[in-house]
Structure 1
Amino acid sequence: MPLRIGYVREHFSSPLLQYADQDKGKTFTLVECPSGTGQLINRLTNDEIDVAIALTDPLISGIANGSTAYKLVGSYVSTPLNWAVITGKDSKYNSISDLRNTTLGISRHGSGSETMAYVMAFQQGWTTNDMKFKVNNDIRGLVASVNDDSSSAFMWEWFTTKPWLDKGEVRFIGAVPTPWPSWTIAAKTTAPSEELKQFLATLSTYVKDFDSEESRTEKNIPFIKQRFGYKEEDIQAWLKTVKYPEDCLKLDRKVIEDTLDVLKKAQVIKTEPEGGFKVEDFVSSNVANLV
């Protein structure tokens, strides 16, 4: 039975989409999750997908906060994600500091848009008492929310949101890069390990090809332009900021430790077991190589 791979249809998914074009459903099928990582985690938990290519921080915080439905099995993007802080075209908010004690839009609870809001608050010196949220499901709902004043702002990846900025539907009032590599791969704890390893090993070849200098100058721009409709200059700007891992099967122990440390300080992780977290508890050791 083909693996069910949950993903978000964004430019970061390009190597996965190239793999899917060649595989044609023989070994895996794609399950689009437009609401992002919160939706991916829900679908893993509900046995609607086997694998999620998702944001690092919600995956780690989900396990830290008690989920046993999934574990980390690999790496996907090795560079930070640049989160834009976005408000309505006519809103009264002009800087991140203006957002204290307001209602922030998020896609879902447990999503990157929520965890990064806590990280932003931590950086600003706010407390959790300063944080209120409104769930808006997806990017369209979030854009509508900041323009009807039901939320003050929301956070979303810079280049994904830029088409709304270019159309004059929103304004960017800041940016908060993640303090960790942005995308990680998780799988249900019951997913077949041999199939997972084969999927990740083959995905690594597509990731390495996409990340090569030759592909960056020849193939990547027309592929992203055709699939996502982005402007060529935006694609070129994004390609200058992004790097992928050599091996998707490797997980860096220090990345997990450092991410846990920031998420604890930002109060995304509420409690810690006696003696602290063990990195091994976050990883499927029969699939991933923890280094």
Structure 2
Amino acid sequence: MTSLKIAGVPEHFNLPWHLSIENGKFEEAGIDLAWTNVPEGTGKLCQMLRDGSTDIAVILTEGIIKDISAGNNSKIIQVYVQSPLVWGIHVAAASPYKTLDELKNQKAAISRFGSGSHLMAIVNAKNQGWDIRALDFEIINTLDGAVEALTEGRGDYFMWERFMTKPIVDKGIFRRIDDCPTPWPCFVIAIRNEVLENNTEAIEKLLSVINKATVSFKQIEGITNVLAERYSQKEEDIKEWLKITEWSQQKLDKNTFDKVQDQLFELDIIDKKAAFETSAV
């Protein structure tokens, strides 16, 4: 039995992992897989790969490419979710801001520097023609921290996955004023190089298990209800989310890698580029 540690955000994208663990699928493949939920998101996941507190991370594509270019000794071993991530742009319910234009020069709440909420705030600013050097940030760590920061006025807007934030909108705590989809596949699976080198066969088996799970995930009987209950969502929202979400069983291709890295470089999020051959398998 090979013991492996994996970490990811506590969001509906990752239910195939949890069901496979609960149903003993990894154990059947000779893998003792321990999952850690990381509500802080991509910045924290990058740190965990760096310090060895996780072996594998299910992580935002742009976040891990940024961190690999900055020296994270890990590789992307597969695309996990092929479809874009739809980032909702949120303000407090009582906020005076009604349109995206009004958020120019206002403070963005982010989970941490290097996180998806940080990187996508820059991407959004670029899309709007704002001066990205003028962006101002408030670090809030988690979604709960964002609720506090926006309600208290320490941050003006917050970007997070639209559907996971929908219950907060439904409760009248946030208002969503716009969306900003990523122009690339949203989640990949990354692994520390040392772990990959020492456990090649086990990693192949792990990918086989999760790929079988994601291929048939949408066909699981009652999956809409399961997702709604586990993630405190309305079934109508889950149905909409399932329609636009496509899991992947493929490697990351060089064209996609280059597209993401080129945009990160253009936005001054990275100051040097990593080689595809040393960043992905």
Shorter-chain TM-score category?
A: over 0.9
Aligned partners of 1:242, 1:25: CA distance in 2, in Å?
A: 24
Change (3 A) 1:279 1:24: closer
Equivalent in the alignment of 1:200? 207
What secondary structure does 2:71 align onto?
Answer: coil
Aligned Cα root-mean-square deviation (Å): 1.5
Moved more, 179-188 or 20-29: 20-29
Equivalent in the alignment of 1:135? 139
Cα offset, 1:24, TM superposition: 7.8
User: Within 5 A, what are the aligned runs for 1:60-75?
Assistant: 60-64=65-69, 66-75=70-79
For residue 233 of structure 1, the aligned residue among 228, 232, 236 is 236
Equivalent in the alignment of 2:222? 219
Aligned partners of 1:124, 1:229: CA distance in 2, in Å?
A: 33
Aligned partners of 1:130, 1:57: CA distance in 2, in Å?
A: 21
Aligned partners of 1:148, 1:3: CA distance in 2, in Å?
A: 41
Which runs of structure 1 show a deviation greater than 4 angstroms over 4 or more consecutive aligned residues?
Answer: none
Q: Deviations over 1:144-189 (max 9, x none)?
A: 1111110110100000000000000011111100000111010111
User: Within 5 A, what are the aligned runs for 1:44-55?
Assistant: 44-55=49-60
Aligned partners of 1:237, 1:172: CA distance in 2, in Å?
A: 17
User: Within 5 A, what are the aligned runs for 1:1-291?
Assistant: 1-23=2-24, 26=27, 27=31, 28-64=33-69, 66-191=70-195, 192-211=199-218, 214-215=219-220, 218-245=221-248, 247-248=249-250, 250-272=251-273, 277-283=274-280, 285=281
Change (3 A) 1:130 1:161: same
Q: Could you tell me the TM-score, scaled by structure 2's length?
A: 0.93
Moved more, 94-103 or 186-195: 94-103
Aligned partners of 2:46, 2:106: CA distance in 1, in Å?
A: 27
Stretches of structure 1 lacking an aligned partner (at least 5 in a row) = 286-291
What secondary structure does 1:29 align onto?
Answer: strand
Cα offset, 1:80, TM superposition: 0.3
Cα offset, 1:96, TM superposition: 1.9
Cα offset, 1:129, TM superposition: 2.2
Stretches of structure 2 lacking an aligned partner (at least 5 in a row) = none
Aligned partners of 1:49, 1:67: CA distance in 2, in Å?
A: 17
Aligned partners of 1:166, 1:60: CA distance in 2, in Å?
A: 34
Cα offset, 1:265, TM superposition: 2.1
Change (3 A) 1:103 1:226: same
What secondary structure does 1:190 align onto?
Answer: helix
User: Which residue type is aligned with residue 173 of structure 1?
Assistant: I
User: Which residue type is aligned with residue 280 of structure 1?
Assistant: E
Aligned partners of 1:130, 1:102: CA distance in 2, in Å?
A: 9
Moved more, 116-125 or 24-33: 24-33
Identity of aligned residues (%): 32
Aligned partners of 2:92, 2:129: CA distance in 1, in Å?
A: 24
Aligned residues: 273
Q: Could you tell me the TM-score, scaled by structure 1's length?
A: 0.90
Aligned partners of 1:128, 1:235: CA distance in 2, in Å?
A: 34
What secondary structure does 1:240 align onto?
Answer: helix
